[in-house]
Amino acid sequence: MTPSDYQLVQIVDAATADAARRSGRWLHCRLGCTQCCIGIFSITQLDAARLRTGLATLELEAPEKAAAVRRRAADSVRRLTPGFPGNPVTGRLDESDPRYDDFANDEPCPALDPATGACDLYAARPITCRVFGPPIRSDDGIGVCELNFDGAAEKEILAAELDTTWSTLESTLNADAEAQSCITGSTTVAWALAKL
């Protein structure tokens, strides 16, 4: 992880912790709750680089665990290649492909340990994983995990909204990561980890 990416992660984690504090009893995220770890989602090239660094670190610290992550990533790529919405050779997603919305909704993330429900690359996880749970604003309005804020009033949801002022820094760092790797566009965790 570069110093700039480390700074971004610290900012995002602090913002998420603040939103979680403001969420109070409405936030039910915990170890073993893996709903957000099932289904393919796009990640940036910055996320992909962080994941690869995290896997390299895991190989030094826990080689068997790293080998299991690599196996799950390779197995996922093999399963998903035939219907991949984008370029399955490079792993570049095409989110405008009509297949994208329904693609691999039951596919577990390769970083997810199926026995423990823990993320084997938790410290290196993508930004989208770091911010999942608390209410977050998008072009479609406020999004909330269906397991959280059940029965909450709109006022309670809005009071816990995640501060995303870091998104400009993330965009800048992602552009740098794309320029450095000569790979542009979004990908998936499986393709990011299988490309080592």
Q: What average pLDDT score do residues 44-55 get?
A: 97
Categorize the per-residue pLDDT at 196 as very low, low, confident or very high, splitting at 50, 70 and 90: low
| Residue 136 φ then ψ, to 5° | -135, 140
Instruction: Output the pLDDT for position 36.
Output: 87
Mind listing the pLDDT tens digit for each residue in 110-157?
999 999 999 999 999 999 999 988 988 888 888 888 888 889 999 999
List residues bridging with 187 in a β-sheet: 43
Report the share of the chain in percent with pLDDT over 90.
78
Which region among 65-74, 136-145, 156-165, 171-180 has the lowest average model confidence (pLDDT)? 136-145
Categorize the per-residue pLDDT at 1 as very low, low, confident or very high, splitting at 50, 70 and 90: confident
| Residue 27, number of CB atoms within 10 A of its CB | 20
Contact 112, 119 (CB under 8 A): yes
**How far apart are alpha carbons 56 and 1 in whole angstroms?**
11
Enclosing domain of residue 28 = 3-194
Mind listing the pLDDT tens digit for each residue in 53-71?
999 999 999 999 999 999 9
User: Which residues are CB-contacts of 4 (< 8 A; sequence separation ≥ 6)?
Assistant: 173, 176
Q: What is the pTM of this model?
A: 0.92
Instruction: Output the pLDDT for position 145.
Output: 83
Tell me: pLDDT of 182 over 80. Answer: yes
Categorize the per-residue pLDDT at 33 as very low, low, confident or very high, splitting at 50, 70 and 90: confident
- CA 94 to chain CA centroid, Å, is 17
Q: What is the mean pLDDT of the chain?
A: 93
Instruction: Say how many domains are in the chain.
Output: 1
